[in-house]
Chain A
Amino acid sequence: MIGLEVHVQLATTSKIFSGASNEYGSLANENTCEIDLGLPGSLPVLNEKAVEMAVKFGCAISAEINEISIFDRKNYFYPDLPKGYQISQFENPIVGRGSIKITDEAGATKIIGITRAHLEEDAGKSIHDLFQGRTAVDLNRTGTPLLEIVSEPDIRSAREASEYFKQIHNLATFIGICDGNLSEGSMRCDANVSVRQKGDSLLGERTEIKNINSFKFVERAIELEIERQIDVLEDGGEIVRETRLFDPDKDETRSMRSKELSEDYRYFPDPDLLPLVLSREEIEKIKSELPELPQQREKNYQSRFGLSGYDSKQLSVDRSKSDFFEELAKASGLPKLSANWVNSNLSSLLNEKGLGFDQTPILPSLLAEILIRIDDGTISSTSGKKLFRAFCETPPEIPEIDDRIDEMGLRQIGGTDGLKDIVLDILKEHPTQLAELLKGKQKVLGFLVGQVMKKTKGAANPKEVNEIIQGEIKKG
């Protein structure tokens, strides 16, 4: 049985309780102020954006949003927590019960319950290998707003856990509350793992693996921990309730002894912070501003546009990508072609340039004009790709598009007279090959089509050329 606690860093401009910058990667201790350092006399004031983001997430998982929530102090001593306590929420969190859908190993939809999500401040960073014999403390991360999302122990395998973590990641980035950068620690998770005999209703003792920051690691850490617990039990041993650390280099989980005594956090309401009160109207307003969510979009793409399950999923994970696709499909009226282009040509171009879908060098309205011209046969699909590349470099005004097509010589020569004349010319110019073809030697067909393409500088539709030649042969 597995339960996950996911910590999501909220993408606010300033800290949760202070006006210091929440930027990542600044010089050590540059983004701190009296409040972050816990200096005497300083008082926390809650950031409204962090509250809004927490409510947004709650609405996205159809959770109960608590109109009154309370901030508590979680007490423990560590050098990267200068106040001696972390401001968190304990008995009255902002977000109550909700759920999220994942796809299980059999490909079926499974619902994972979410117990709660609460707001809290992140701690600073301790760096142990920077100075000889001393621990370096950087408090820039102190006070970064976190949303801690706690799942029910509904997860049954390491793969499901990684799938759940991915879904939370997709959702949080989709609704714009987190930048989703795992390598910078924007999302981390703790996994609670316990094993039991098949058929047993009682839960076994659990261990907690702390601070995992990748989808792959969460899967591996849980696999290892399940194996370890089964080995211990089979050898007649007992599972000890403890905190463990996953070491990807050694491929093992190991006990973190230092935390054993700190279980007792002595939570109590923070007297510096009044209850957080939200009105129904405020909650409804935030809810109404939510975009249509990935799983809904995925479904719509299949039912409305007849796209495949795979294509729909590919298009709906990333908000900007999904929005781009929808605009493109609307402007062109060609949803399937739009889906292919967004998932292939556009994706690979952005990949090459290291850009995201929020930085596309071409507007959906312009790309739509290219797709329309491919669809009506004005240009071939190969020419479409050339045009697309060219338009990404120097985008034309919409009325100039056809001139540009002509300038680049990309206009497809239609299947009627123009193209037929060229084909006949080519056949005349190559009597030997024509004779061979008439004898049934299909190999030369490719050569002749190639000659036509060369003559038309690629502007002919090879399929049509093929058909014309075949037609001529039948005639004799």
Chain B
Amino acid sequence: MTDKKNHIDILHLANLAKVEIDEAAELKLESDIKSIIKMISKMMEVDTSDTLPLKSPLDSAQRLRPDQVSEKPNRDLLQRGAPEIKDGFFTVPRVIE
């Protein structure tokens, strides 16, 4: 159907992102992403051999924090939004196979 070179494995990406998509969405996403890639390919045509890579768009550096404990234990409040807790643990459906 599609040629291998231009094929984008949407289902693999969906699996990595843990989203479920149907076939219609798959086709739409593939064509959307292809057009984005086309745009990026166009940008790649610009000659950047004399340009240093931009490490961050902001002209500023990381601010550092002193190594001090500033947070008090506040477990009950922090766990209030969790779907299920037990004995102080968050619990989730068993993930080991």
Contact = CB atoms under 8 A, between A and B. Distances in A.
B61 A262 contact: no
A274 B60 contact: yes
B61 A139 contact: no
Contacts of B12: 261, 264
Most-contacted residue by chain B among A12, A29, A128 (CB, 10 A)? A29
Given A13-B68, A70-B56, A269-B56, A134 B74 contact: no
Contact of A29 (B65, B81, B88): B88
Contacts of B86: 131, 134, 136
Interface stretch (A44-52, A155-163, A368-376, A447-455): A44-52
Given A32-B78, A48-B66, A70-B55, A133 B94 contact: yes
A18 B65 CA distance: 9
Contacts of A258: 97
Interface stretch (A19-27, A201-209, A231-239, A394-402): A19-27
Interface in A300-356: none
Contacts of A138: 88-89
Contacts of A33: 71, 74, 78
Interface string B32-57: 00000000000000000000000110
Chain A interface size band reads 35 or more
A81 to B, nearest CB: 12
B67 A29 contact: no
Contact of A30 (B61, B64, B73, B90): B73
Interface in B7-37: 12, 15-16, 18
B18 to A, nearest CB: 5
Contacts of A77: 18
A127 B7 CA distance: 40
A200 B40 CA distance: 41
A262 B18 CA distance: 11
A77 B64 CA distance: 28
Contacts of A269: 55-56
A134 B69 contact: no
Given A13-B67, A19-B70, A30 B75 contact: yes
Contacts of A135: 91-96
A26 to B, nearest CB: 8
B87 interface: yes
B69 to A, nearest CB: 5
A240 interface: no
A267 to B, nearest CB: 13
A264 B89 contact: no
Query: Which range holds the interface residue count of chain B?
Result: 35 or more
B8 to A, nearest CB: 13
A79 B18 CA distance: 13
A197 to B, nearest CB: 33
Contacts of B93: 133-135
A18 B71 contact: yes
Given A28-B88, A34-B78, A274-B60, A79 B68 contact: no
Contacts of B68: 13-14, 19
Contacts of A20: 69, 71
Interface in A43-78: 45-51, 68, 70, 75-78
A13 to B, nearest CB: 5
B70 A14 contact: yes
B74 A274 contact: no
Contacts of B58: 274
B63 interface: yes
A47 B65 contact: yes
Interface string A235-279: 000000000000000000000011001101010010001111100
A139 B90 contact: yes
A37 interface: yes
A464 B85 CA distance: 76
Nearest to B15: A261
24 contacts: A14-B68, A20-B69, A21-B71, A28-B87, A29-B78, A29-B79, A32-B75, A33-B74, A68-B55, A75-B16, A79-B92, A92-B55, A126-B96, A128-B95, A130-B89, A135-B96, A136-B87, A137-B90, A261-B15, A264-B16, A273-B62, A274-B60, A275-B62, A276-B62
Interface of A: 12-14, 18-21, 26-34, 37, 39, 45-51, 68, 70, 75-79, 92, 126-128, 130-131, 133-139, 257-258, 261-262, 264, 266, 269, 273-277
- Top-10 shortest CB links A-B: A19-B70, A49-B67, A48-B64, A136-B89, A277-B61, A28-B88, A33-B71, A137-B90, A134-B91, A274-B62
Given A14-B70, A49-B66, 9 more contacts: A14-B69, A39-B78, A46-B63, A76-B16, A134-B93, A257-B97, A264-B16, A269-B55, A277-B62
